[in-house]
């Protein structure tokens, strides 16, 4: 079975999508429609902006979504997913790719999500850190013993977990892990503590937007971040999408489950090759590719 996966924040680069815009009439139409929906020319920032332009959450998230979704749509009849998944923001791209969401509704939700998250980040300055070569259970235990806000946020691959929380909480967790002999920790250059309780204010706004949006029955299951399980039920998909904002991204478990359910290859649709690398860390024999 052919699985398609869609990247999240951090995969962006200046110039992303420009070749699509220039070489496909359909891509150009969709990009221009996106400029109208967003109320600003995101294409200018994607194609010719600066890295700082693209780092703004309100730009990053729609930009990655557009690159991922438009790339899939330009494949025409060759695009036949049998299962899909997306990493964090990428779950919205996956839901457009499998027909659960329209292109327009997906973009509006991604834009609202980005704005709400940016607001939450500004209200409560916070951050994230990657912890390498440590068992998940050890990281979970350390986080649970700290009284500041700090939680596991992304289970990316075996031996790579990202924690999220207040600046103090992150520092305390890194310090405690170092005392235990685990020194491989990298603070991430992100706007805030995504997938942590600090995103609660954004979750309220996002829930309102998602609950008032029509979701279709998809053409194939989406493996969702919250529980790493497949779903084709529109109501269940909605609730998992809302919960995703303050819950960890269970990517390792998602890839394991997709392989167990028959995935024979993973094709990444969007900027970069991050997800292909993570799939290989779960199963080094798995066939991976970019669209």
3-state DSSP call for residue 291? coil
* Alpha helices, DSSP H, located in 85-215: 90-97, 103-123, 136-144, 167-179, 200-211
Residues in Cβ contact with 88 at an 8 Å cutoff, skipping those fewer than 6 apart = 8, 9, 154, 194, 195, 225, 244, 249
Catalytic residue, chosen from 111, 166, 195, 247, is 195
Instruction: Answer yes or no: 88 catalytic.
Output: yes
Question: Kind and range of the H or E element at 222?
Answer: strand 222-223
Is residue 75 classed exposed, middle or buried when 0-12, 13-18 and 19+ CB atoms within 10 A define those classes? middle
Q: Per the residue annotation, which of 68, 88, 196, 231 is the catalytic one?
A: 88
285 as an active site residue: the answer is: no
HEC assignment per residue over 76-96: HHHCCCCEEEECCCHHHHHHH
Q: Return the structure tokens found at 15.
A: 């110039």
The residues assigned a catalytic role are 88, 195
């Amino acid at each position: 079975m052919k699985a398609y996966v869609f990247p999240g924040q951090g995969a962006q680069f200046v110039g992303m999508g420009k070749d699509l815009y220039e070489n496909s009439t359909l891509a150009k139409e969709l990009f221009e429609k996106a400029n109208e929906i967003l109320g600003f020319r995101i294409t200018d920032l994607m194609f010719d902006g600066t890295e700082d332009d693209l780092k703004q959450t309100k730009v990053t998230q729609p930009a990655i979504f557009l690159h991922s979704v438009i790339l899939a749509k330009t494949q025409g009849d060759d695009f036949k997913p049998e299962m899909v998944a997306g990493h964090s923001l990428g779950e919205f791209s996956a839901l457009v790719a499998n027909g659960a969401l329209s292109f327009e509704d997906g973009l509006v939700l991604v834009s609202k999500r980005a704005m709400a998250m940016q607001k939450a980040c500004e209200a409560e300055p916070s951050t994230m850190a990657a912890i390498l070569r440590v068992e998940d259970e050890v990281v979970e235990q350390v986080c649970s013993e700290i009284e500041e806000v700090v939680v596991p946020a992304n289970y990316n691959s075996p031996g790579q977990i990202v924690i999220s929380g207040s600046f103090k909480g992150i520092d305390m967790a890194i310090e405690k892990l170092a005392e235990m002999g685990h020194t491989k920790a990298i603070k991430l250059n992100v706007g805030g503590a995504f997938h942590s309780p600090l995103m609660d204010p954004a979750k309220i706004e996002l829930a309102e937007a998602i609950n008032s949006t029509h979701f279709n029955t998809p053409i194939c299951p989406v493996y969702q971040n919250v529980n790493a399980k497949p779903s084709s039920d529109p109501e269940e998909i909605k609730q998992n999408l809302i919960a995703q904002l303050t819950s960890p991204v269970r990517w390792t478990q998602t890839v394991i489950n997709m392989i167990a359910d028959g995935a024979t290859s993973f094709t990444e649709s969007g900027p970069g090759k991050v997800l292909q690398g993570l799939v290989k860390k779960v199963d080094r024999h798995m066939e991976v590719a970019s669209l």
